[in-house]
């Protein structure tokens, strides 16, 4: 039986980001050139001053050759003790400057019902990103401005020998 790969687990979160009536790449992750990454989950939440009876499309893309130009989010090691390793991967915050999906593959497509306020993706089989292989979580444009929150959880696996 194959052994599950092990490595440190990180979260990268953002809070209270205003999302206007434009689509956005809400997360971008780029593993370092030294490590593969297992994507464990992605969570999104929305706040609005009025009930929001709308839906957003959510897509997860892997393999874009373009990187997001938005602000970086510093991933946090969930262990949190002195000497816990820092992430080698970089994560970006929401941006309406969408990356090209020409060279990317769609891993997941879903609908986020904003009246439920939360969207959560926890795949049965967590996708693994190759070293330096980008992944983006994209949402379609809301009909009214909202404030969004999000957390991406991932594990750095290191260099795994091929089977």
User: Does residue 20 lie in a domain region?
Assistant: yes
Strand partners, 44: 119, 150
User: Is 94 domain-assigned?
Assistant: yes
Tally the domains of the chain. 1
Provide the domain limits for residue 133. Answer: 9-155
Q: How far apart are CA 63 and CA 103, in angstroms?
A: 6
Q: Does residue 160 surpass a pLDDT of 60? A: no
Alpha carbons 29 and 6: distance in angstroms, whole number: 19
pLDDT by residue (tens digit) across 79-126?
Answer: 988 999 999 999 999 999 999 998 899 999 999 988 777 899 888 889
In a domain, 1, yes or no: no
User: In this structure, is residue 137 part of a structural domain?
Assistant: yes
Largest CA distance in the chain: 53
Q: Is residue 39 part of a domain?
A: yes
What local confidence, expressed as pLDDT, does residue 51 receive?
61
Could you read off the pLDDT of 14-67 as tens digits, one per residue? Answer: 999 998 889 999 999 999 999 999 999 999 998 776 666 788 999 999 999 887
Residue 90 contacts residue 154 (beta carbons within 8 Å): no
The answer to whether residue 145 sits within a structural domain is yes
Tokens coding 9: 């687990």
Give me the CATH number covering residue 108.
Answer: 2.60.120
Residue 2 lies in a domain: no
């Amino acid at each position: 039986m194959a052994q599950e790969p092990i490595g440190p687990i990180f979260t990268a979160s953002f809070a209270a980001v205003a999302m206007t009536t434009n689509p956005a790449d809400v997360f971008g992750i780029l593993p370092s050139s030294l490590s593969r990454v297992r994507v464990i989950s992605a969570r999104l939440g929305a706040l609005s001053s009025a009930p929001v009876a709308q839906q957003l499309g959510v897509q997860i893309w892997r393999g874009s050759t373009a990187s997001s130009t938005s602000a970086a989010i510093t991933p946090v090691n969930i262990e949190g003790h002195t000497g816990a390793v820092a992430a080698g991967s970089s994560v970006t915050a929401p941006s309406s400057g969408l990356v090209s999906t020409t060279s990317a593959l769609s891993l997941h497509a879903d609908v986020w019902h904003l009246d439920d306020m939360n969207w959560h993706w926890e795949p049965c089989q967590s996708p693994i990103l190759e070293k330096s292989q980008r992944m983006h979580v994209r949402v379609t444009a809301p009909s009214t401005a909202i404030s969004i929150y999000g957390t991406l959880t991932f594990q750095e696996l290191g260099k795994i020998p091929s089977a």
